[in-house]
Amino acid sequence: MITPPRLRFAPSPTGYLHVGGARTALFNWLLARKTGGKFLLRIEDTDRARSTDDSTRAIFEGMTWLGLDWDEEVTFQGANLARHQRDAHALLASGAAYRDFTTGEELDRLRKDAEAAGEQFRFDRRLAELPADELQSRLDRGDPFTIRFRVPEGATGWVDMVHGQIEFPNKDIDDFIILRSDGTPIYNLAVVSDDIATAITLVMRGDDHISNTPKQILLYRALGAALPTFAHLPMILGSDGKKLSKRHGATAVGDYHGLGILPDAMCNFLALLGWSPGGDREVMTRQELIDYFSEDGLLKKAAVFDATKLEWMNGQHLAQTPIDALDAYLRPFLVRADLTTAEAIAERTEWWHRLLELLRVRARTVNELVAQCRPYFVDEVLYDADAAAKQWKDPAASAELLQAVRERLAEGEWEAGAMETALRALGEARGIGVGKIFQPMRVALTGVAATPGIFDVLLAVGRERSLARLDAAVVHLTRSSIAG
RNA sequence: GGCGGUAUCGUCUAGGGGACUAGGACACAGCCCUCUCAAGGCUGGAACACGGGUUCGAAUCCCGUUACCGCUACCA
């Protein structure tokens, strides 16, 4: 690539930003950032019936969350109506397009007839060929008409960046409408007009657009514009091999935000759907993604979206992201979960980072991580029923044991080595394994059966709170042993 | 139906004529580590859609078949 490319992502605001769109946006962004090119965002809101402001907002939010920043001003396709009309009329004037007075109803009927006759419907250009005087009188009468593109003879092809040479015989392309009878443009015209106006040099999009491409190339030529390079990315499928849709569960990028996926993990995962850096490289930072990204690694085959692998990858990012960056991302979640306040956590950043180091490898999602944080932030300990049932089988015995543990710990230094020595000695004195001591303690201290190492927990909870929790557990167990 | 695209473990993929007894990752199973849970380490099962060519030699190149997907709108 001699000059840096100008790319764009052009979603239509007819719903949330789904993962397929996000992947397309990501690839465009990656290539722009890699090459020093530009990445533009254009909202294709020409379908006024289906476009909504909420959807537009969701697209901005999704892009922002993913960290896909765009260059130049966002453009709205609907704002370019005048140019679209101008281009359509220029084609009409040059003879590349013609007026068609056939109504929608007539077209429907023609299609039904063809279907009934077992034939495929083709638009017959002769339908629109009116004698000059009739044409003029219908124009004078103000009859509505569409503008159709006159598809020339021959074949239309291009060298696709991912697929290589692709060619369509023009005879298989109907004369297609470029301007509706209400004067609004049809997709193919609007896209080409806008891409020419914004000097897009590389059109990278889903391969469901492959069959639109010859039409668009014809339009570029008729408009006298230089062709961009085309790159058609494979689709993203659901686990059943069908195009990803709502019934596959979470398909909006906002869903993954809410599920506790990190933006970098999402980008990393999405990047690997339809692209490979070659070799065994998988977990990559955003910068590595940019560094390694290349058109050579683009794949042709549709990929199945595997949420389980996404979670694994998120776990990898959770464990590897620099602690400060992770902390910054996490704080709002902590506050929202009511575990702390921005002020309170700012006062004990060091303690929090130590805790975060312990928990980050044990969680696959931000939500799991936040849930695991609870016992260290909130004073009240909620005993998990299963954990209590399993680790405190005999309440009276457990109470007595925890009382002994509490006494040993209270006597010594609040330091891992000393505490471990004391508790192992206790185990030996009683002839029981440390697991028989640590597990009941774990429940008393955190309420759950799975946590970081017990001494890390003791340190993270702190001396006073730990002793208080052991006391509380003793009281709780004594009470239930009497009740039982 | 027509046209176009695609085809390696269940999934994501490496592979671009001999280095392939087809490699890695997720998931799964077992083991190790171990106070629990993770993480980590080790081991295992698991794939070149099918049929023809080309070639001394094909997962890799060509053709056909099959399957799947997309388009075939006054949707985008």
Q: How do residues A404-458 score in pLDDT, each as one tens digit?
A: 999 999 999 999 999 999 999 999 999 999 999 999 999 999 999 999 999 999 9
Distances from the Cα of A450 to the Cαs of A282, A314, A330, A462, in angstroms? 29, 20, 21, 18
- pLDDT of amino acid A175: 95
A267 CA to B13 C1' in angstroms comes to: 17
Same domain, A175 and A298: no
Domain presence at residue A13: no
Residues A312 and A331 in one domain: no
Are A87 and A209 members of one domain? Answer: yes
The pLDDT assigned to A246 comes to: 75
A282, burial (CB in 10 Å: exposed 0-12, middle 13-18, buried 19+): middle
Residue-wise DSSP of A460-484: HH-HHHHHHHHHHHHHHHHHHHHH-
Residue A473: count other Cβ atoms within 10 Å of its Cβ. Answer: 26
CA of A371 to C1' of B17 (A): 55
* Boundary-marking domain end, from A320, A344, A364: A320
CATH of the domain at A100: 3.40.50.620
Taking the C1' atom of every nucleotide in all shown strands and the CA of A212, the nearest one is: B71
Residues A358 and A467 in one domain: no
Tell me, yes or no, whether A269 and A414 share the same domain. no
User: Do A343 and A223 share a domain, yes or no?
Assistant: no
Q: Which tokens in the block code for residue A47?
A: 């379908």
Has A246 been annotated as catalytic? Answer: yes
Nearest CA among A158, A148, A163 for reference residue A214: A158
Q: Which of A333, A354, A378 is the last residue of a domain?
A: A378
* Nucleotide lying nearest to A372, CA to C1' measure: B37
Model's pTM, two decimal places?
Answer: 0.94
A303 phi and psi angles, rounded to 5 deg: -120, 145
Whether residue A117 lies inside any domain: the answer is yes
Grouping H, G, I as helix, E, B as strand and the rest as coil, residue A155 is: strand
**Where would I find the H helices in A2-52?**
19-35
Q: What is the pLDDT of residue A453?
A: 97
Cα separation, A156 vs A221, in Å, equals 11
The verdict on A326 and A316 lying in the same domain is no
For A235-257, write each residue's pLDDT tens digit: 999 988 888 877 787 889 999 99
Model pLDDT, residue A409: 97
**Residue A387: which nucleotide is closest by CA–C1'?**
B36
Tokens (6 digits) for A163:
């697929």
Q: Are A335 and A268 in contact (CB under 8 A)?
A: no
What is the spatial distance, in angstroms and rounded to an integer, between the CA atom of A170 and the C1' atom of B67? 28
Nucleotide nearest residue A191, measured CA to C1'? B76
Q: Which amino acid is at A169?
A: P
Please tell me whether residues A265 and A359 are part of one structural domain.
no
**What is the DSSP pairing of strand A155-160 with strand A164-169?**
antiparallel
Question: What is d(CA A354, CA A54) in angstroms, rounded to the nearest whole number?
Answer: 40
Instruction: Compute the residue count for chain A.
Output: 484
Residue A343 inside a domain? The answer is yes
Q: Which of A230, A227, A200, A225 is nearest to A90 (CA)?
A: A225
Torsion angle, CA of A198/A201/A202/A208, rounded to 10 degrees? 60
Provide the domain count of chain A.
4
- CA A237 to chain CA centroid, nearest Å: 14
Where residue A409 sits, what CATH number does that domain have? 1.10.10.350
The CA R_g of chain A, rounded to the nearest whole Å, is 32
Read off the amino acid at residue A276: S
Nearest residue (Cα to C1') for B75?
A47
Q: Is the dihedral of CA A403, A407, A413, A416 positive or negative?
A: negative
Rounded distance in angstroms from the CA atom of residue A303 to the C1' atom of nucleotide B26: 14
Q: Is residue A54 part of a domain?
A: no
Residue numbers of chain A with a pLDDT score lower than 50:
1
Nearest in space to A241 (alpha carbons), one of A311, A309, A302, A310: A302
Considering only CA atoms, which residue is closest to the C1' of nucleotide B26? Answer: A309
Mark which of A320, A335, A365 sits at the end of a domain: A320
Residue A106 in domain: yes
Per the structure, the residue whose CA is closest to nucleotide B24 at C1' is A280
Residue A276 lies in a domain: yes
- For position A484, what pLDDT does the model report? 59
Question: Tokens 């009409």 belong to which residue?
Answer: A92
Nucleotide minimizing C1' to CA distance for residue A121? B72
- Assembly ipTM: 0.95
**Looking at the structure, do residues A313 and A326 belong to the same domain, yes or no?**
no
Is A427 exposed, middle or buried (CB count within 10 Å of its CB: 0-12, 13-18, 19+)? middle
CA–CA distance, A405 with A427 (Å, rounded to integer)? 10
Q: State, as a whole number of angstroms, the distance between the CA of A450 and the C1' of B38.
A: 9
Instruction: Please name the nucleotide lying closest to A441, CA to C1'.
Output: B35
Q: How far is the CA of A188 from the C1' of B7 (A)?
A: 30
Å from A362 (CA) to B38 (C1')? Answer: 4
Q: Nearest-CA residue to the C1' of B7?
A: A301
Residue numbers of the domain that contains A294 = 258-320
Q: Output phi, psi for A131, to 5 deg.
A: -60, 150
Write the single-letter amino acid at A99: R
pLDDT of residue A351: 97
The protein residue nearest B13 (Cα–C1') is: A276
Do A296 and A198 sit in the same domain of this protein? no
Contact assessment for residue A312 and residue A272, using Cβ atoms and an 8 Å cutoff: no
Buried b (16+ CB within 10 A) or exposed e, A255-280: ebbebbbbbbbbbbbbbbbbbbbeee
Q: Which one from A246, A300, A393, A436 is the annotated catalytic residue?
A: A246
**B chain positions with any atom within 7 Å of a protein CB:** 1-8, 10-16, 23-27, 35-40, 68-76
pLDDT, position A242:
80
Q: Could you tell me if residue A183 is inside a domain?
A: yes
- Kindly state whether residue A64 falls inside one of the protein's structural domains: no
- Please check whether residues A274 and A203 belong to one and the same domain: no
Q: Tell me the CA–C1' distance in angstroms for A248 and B32.
A: 38
Instruction: For tokens 């704002």, name the residue.
Output: A79
Q: Give the neighbor-by-neighbor strand order of the sheet with A177-179.
A: A97-100, A146-149, A177-179
Coil, strand or helix at A201: coil
Q: Are residues A199 and A88 in the same domain?
A: yes
Provide the H-helix boundaries in A378-434.
385-391, 395-411, 416-430
